[in-house]
Structures are given as structure tokens and as C-alpha cells.
Copies of this chain bind each other. A is one copy, B any other.
Amino acid sequence: MPAPDSGGAPFARVGIAGLGLIGGSIALALRRRSPSTRIVALDRPDVIDAARSAGVIDAGAAAVGDLGGADVIVLATPIPAILESIAALGRVAPDAVVTDVGSTKRRIVAAAAAAGLREFVGGHPMAGRERGGLAAADHALFEGRTWFLARGTASDDALLRIKAFVRGLGATPADIDPERHDRTMAYVSHLPQIASTTLMAEVGAAVGPHGVACAGQGLDDMTRLAASPADVWSGILETNADFIAEAGTRLAESLARFARELQDEGAVEARFETANRLREILRASRTP
């Protein structure tokens, strides 16, 4: 139940590990929608100083264990650091309510169980930006977005409070199985990333910087994800490697077939028609 001093918010004291785009946007959304919530955060000293000066957080912490006094701990770092935090919290605060925002869920949910965390809910907000970091954070980042939740070890009470917390940030919570989450994300999120990175590299290798500068809107759209930083993505690719390898192999095989059928007008038309139809479904799903 909400504490008396939390103004109806599910958690009066929130700890956030990682004040990047997602962690920073959580803090900003709390400030805007739940001003009495106390926010303690963990990040590099310069990030903590900037966030405190801007009034985005109330205090900094020296280690993830220091967040154990919060009513909920949100792990919002890249995946390798999430896994380290889970191990540390298992040692010092196994009864803390803990959630995360990592882009894969099987490995993280399994790690929380293995570490002995008793109130862990895996989470993944469907929200992102081209640019990362606290400077790109936005209190409205989660508005109207789906926030997947994989129950993990949590009690009914903790799960309900996490759902209320997520709703309080403007998002819509949706239960999902870690296996199903990771397979879906392998196709709709991780495959586009490796395709974009690979396309950018191969175009550059073939035509050089001068050729790249001939790009039109199409290549520009297709390579926007190629600006994504490796440090965020290496943990995603590593912890979802089986499904992403399946997806990447399927795309590679389909592309190689297409490359052999370019003069087969019927085959070309069938491919375009399938893609046209699916693109229309995607477009319609994203129109408010």
C-alpha cells in the first residue's frame, strides 16, 4: 500500500541506478507527476552533481547497496552493470523491491532468482531516442508507451506496486514471458540494429566516404540506428544471442535469395506486396 507521505504514489523513496536516457527520464517523470517522491541515484560523480544541481534527484549514492533503503530500486544501466547490481543486491538487500529496464529479460530474470532477490520484477519500457544520456532525458518519454513486465520472483503486492509505478510514469504495463519477450525483441528491435550497423559498414566499404555522401533519405533512415553506441548494445547482443542469431541468419538467407531473384518480376512483386502490407500494419499501429 502507498506510504502516507507519498502523495498516493506506490513508492515514497525511489532509488535509480544509472541516470542515462531511461533512468533520467524516470526521475524527470517522477518529479513532474509525483513531486513528494524522494529520488536517490547512482552514477558517475559528474552526472550526480549535474542531476542534483538541476533538482532532478535529491541525493547521490556511492554504491548500489546504498540504494537498499529505497522502497523500490530501478536498475537503469547497460545490461552488464544490471547483472552486477543484481548480484550485489542479492548479498546486501535480498528483500528489496527491485526492477530493471534492460532490453533483454531471460538472463536478467534468471540472474535475480539465482542471486536470491525475493521481490524482483523484470521490466522493459518501449521507449527510446536517437541520443542517449541524461541530457536527452524527457519527463514525457514513457507517455502512452508499453512497459513490459516479467514477474520474476516478486510477490503479488510488489508486482502490483511496480505496475502502479509504471502507470504513474505515463506508461501502460503489460505482462510478458521472458522467453516470448526476448524472441519478439530479437526481431523487432535487435535485428534492425544489427542490420543497420551492417548496412552502414558494407555501404562504406563498397563506395567510400564520397559515395556515402551521395545518400538520399532512404539510406539516411536505414542507418540512423548505426549511430547506436556499442556499450549499450554489446550486452543486449550477448544476452539474446540465440534469438538474434536465428533472426540474423533468416534475414541474411532471405536477402541472399532476393539478390538471386532480382530479374524475376513475379518474385520481386510478391516480396514488395508482402512488405507493403506489413508496413501498413506497422504504420497504423504507430499512428496515435
Contact = CB atoms under 8 A, between A and B. Distances in A.
A218 interface: yes
B218 A281 contact: no
A22 to B, nearest CB: 13
A62 interface: no
Q: How many copies does the complex hold?
A: 2
Nearest to A127: B216
Contacts of A285: 212-213, 215
Q: Is the interface on chain A under 10, 10 to 19, 20 to 34, or 35 or more residues?
A: 35 or more
A202 B283 CA distance: 17
A79 to B, nearest CB: 12
A272 B216 contact: no
A32 interface: no
A281 B212 contact: yes
A199 interface: yes
A253 interface: yes
Given A193-B218, A213-B281, A216-B189, A202 B262 contact: no
A223 B279 contact: yes
A225 B222 contact: yes
A253 to B, nearest CB: 7
Nearest to A272: B230
A189 B212 CA distance: 10
A245 interface: yes
B202 A219 contact: no
A256 B262 contact: no
A194 interface: yes
A49 to B, nearest CB: 28
Interface string A274-287: 11101111110110
6 contacts: A191-B202, A194-B258, A213-B285, A223-B275, A233-B272, A244-B259
